[in-house]
Structures are given as structure tokens and as C-alpha cells.
Structure 1
């Protein structure tokens, strides 16, 4: 199944199973790319947030007019910050951004319990790597990419290029078939040759 893509300088559509790496400056404004990705040609989506709480994710979706009825959110921060939280049908919690097994399990449950066109946004690899070992994070990404393949879904993975050294950025880039590179001026370059 193909998914329409609302990203400038990118193909009009991508096949299910595609994971896209979104490279951005540490201060880069990724919300527009992220929300356009989530609201285009989508039946259900999961936001895995290691950078903001579920409440902040909801505010972003509302601000960019994304249909929250289709949304599930995985909040990895609130419990670690000491807020007591109970999961609901569409908001899930794990203990911290380095609970990689918990994150993988929620993503698997989301893909197994939904149908149609599914998208995942993981915002961000950088925060996850701050809490967990980078090699473990790369292993998690490989498993998530396998899940996309198995379930004909697509995903956008955020990585702040200014925070990691070049070698680590290259290692993360090597996992993906497609890269969207956002520069400080908001210009977008893309490479979808592997798709």
C-alpha cells in the first residue's frame, strides 16, 4: 500500500514499510513537517514522544489542526518527571525514554490493534539516546523498522544533527531508506533513493 507524502522536495508517495529519518538542527522547527506527515492519508497514527509530554503533544496536534480522533500518544516523560499517570485508550505511558522494551511493545500493540493506513512519529531519537546507550537505540530502531515492514505502515524518526557527532549521525542514517534534511533556514533537502 502506498502513502501520500506532504513533504516538500520529496516523492508524492512512499510504499508501506518505509521509515524516514528527519534530520534537523537542534533549534529546528519540525512541527510543520511532523504534523503534515501525520495528517496526510492516514487512518491511525502513534506519536512516540521522548521530548514532550502527552499534554504538549495534544496542544501541537490541536494547533496544526490534526484529527486527534486518529491519534494515540506514548508519553515517555511524565512518569519520570514524577507525575502520576494512568494510561487511557489513546494515551500510553512508559517509565522513561530509556524504557526501550516498553516503547517497542506499545508500538507493536498499536500496529496489531489498528488497520488501514498507519503512521508513527518518533520525536526524538536524540532524547532517547541521551537516556539510553546509542547502540541500544539503534537496535530499537531496527526493530521498529521491521514492524513497519510487517504491518505495511510508515514512520518519521526525528534526529537533531547538531547534538550527535558525525559518526553517530552516519550510523543512524545508515538504518534508513529515506532522509529528510531540514536546515537552519527551514530549507528541506531529501534523499529517497533507497525507497
Structure 2
């Protein structure tokens, strides 16, 4: 299955199973790229958020005019922080942002339960590494990429370069078939 991409500098389409790494200096410009990725050529999508709560993800989707009826959200923050939460068909929770098995299991279930063109956005691998450690974050990404391949889905993985050492960035970069480098000024350099 082919998936359309409508992000500057990227190919028009990518095959199912493709993971795309979004390397960025800060979180400012990432929302636009993330939402462009999610609203194009998609039947259902899952946002895994280790950086913001489900409420904040919903606000972002609404602001960028993404069809929320196609969205599912996995909130990894609210339980640990003691925030009020309402489970629904579209919003799910794991106990903490370092619950790697819970996150990967939920992604597997999501991909297994839905048909058609499926996308996921992991925002962010940097936060996962902060909570769970670099090795665990890398292993989680590898497991998720295997699931994308198995289910013919695609995913966008956010990594902020600033907190990581060069070795981590290089190691994670090598896992991906596509890399989008976002500069401070919003310029995109993509390599697929």
C-alpha cells in the first residue's frame, strides 16, 4: 500500500511499513508537520503522546483542522501526574511515560483492530528517552517499526536533537527509511 505525504521536500508517496524520523531543534514548528502528516490519505490514526496530555493533543488537532473522528490518542502522562481523565473509544491511557511495553502493546492492538490506511505519530521519542532511558527508547522504536511493517502502516517519530548526544541521534537516524530535518527557521531538509 502506498501513502501520500504532503510535507515539503518529501516524496509524494511512501510504501506501507515506512517510519519517518522528524528531527527538530524545538517543538515550535513540529505541530504543522505532524498534523499535515496525520490528515493526508489516512483512514485512522493514533497519536502516542509522551509530551502532552490527550486534551492538549485534541486542541492541536482542532487548531490544525484535523478530522478528530479518525483519531485515537494514547496519553502516557495523565495517570502519573494525577490529572482527571475520561476514557473513551478514542482516548486511552498507560500508567506512565516509561511504560514501554504498555505503549508498544497498545500500538499493536490499534494496528490489529483497524483496517485501511493507518498512521501513527509518536510525540516524542525524546520524552520517552527522558523517562525510560535511551536504550529502552531505541528498543521501543525498533519494536514499533516492526509493527508498522507487519501491518503496512506508516509512522512519524519526533526527536528533539538538543538533549541527545550525537551517538544517540546517529543510532536512531539509522533506523529510519525517511528523515525530515527541521531547522530553527522552519526550513525542511528531507532524506528518503
| Superposition TM-score tier, normalisation by shorter sequence | over 0.9
Specify the alignment match of 2:45 in structure 1: 45
Specify the alignment match of 1:54 in structure 2: 54
User: 1:27 Cα deviation (Å)?
Assistant: 4.5
Residue 20 of structure 1 pairs with residue 20 of structure 2: yes
User: 1:128 Cα deviation (Å)?
Assistant: 0.5
User: 1:111 Cα deviation (Å)?
Assistant: 0.2
User: 1:84 Cα deviation (Å)?
Assistant: 4.2
C-alpha contact (below 8 Å) 1:28/1:183 kept by paired residues: no
C-alpha contact (below 8 Å) 1:94/1:103 kept by paired residues: yes
CA distance in 1, matches of 2:107, 2:152: 13
- Partner-residue secondary structure (3-state), 1:80: helix
Residue 30 of structure 1 pairs with residue 24 of structure 2: no
C-alpha contact (below 8 Å) 1:53/1:76 kept by paired residues: yes
Specify the alignment match of 2:166 in structure 1: 166
Specify the alignment match of 1:98 in structure 2: 98
Specify the alignment match of 1:187 in structure 2: 187
User: 1:17 Cα deviation (Å)?
Assistant: 0.2
- Partner-residue secondary structure (3-state), 1:79: helix
Residue 145 of structure 1 pairs with residue 145 of structure 2: yes
How do 1:58-137 and structure 2 match up within 5 A? 58-137=58-137
Deviations 1:164-193 (A, max 9, x none): 11111111111111100000010000110x
- Partner-residue secondary structure (3-state), 2:81: coil
Give the superposed CA RMSD.
0.9
CA distance in 2, matches of 1:42, 1:147: 17
C-alpha contact (below 8 Å) 1:26/1:163 kept by paired residues: no
User: 1:86 Cα deviation (Å)?
Assistant: 4.5
Report the TM-score when normalising by structure 1.
0.96
CA distance in 1, matches of 2:112, 2:100: 18
Unaligned runs of 5+ in 2: none
CA distance in 2, matches of 1:86, 1:27: 26
CA distance in 2, matches of 1:141, 1:81: 24
C-alpha contact (below 8 Å) 1:23/1:158 kept by paired residues: yes
C-alpha contact (below 8 Å) 1:122/1:158 kept by paired residues: yes
Q: May I ask how many residue pairs the two structures share in their alignment?
A: 192
Residue 7 of structure 1 pairs with residue 7 of structure 2: yes
- Partner-residue secondary structure (3-state), 1:176: coil
CA distance in 2, matches of 1:93, 1:87: 8
C-alpha contact (below 8 Å) 1:19/1:145 kept by paired residues: yes
| Deviating 4+ runs (over 6 angstroms) | none
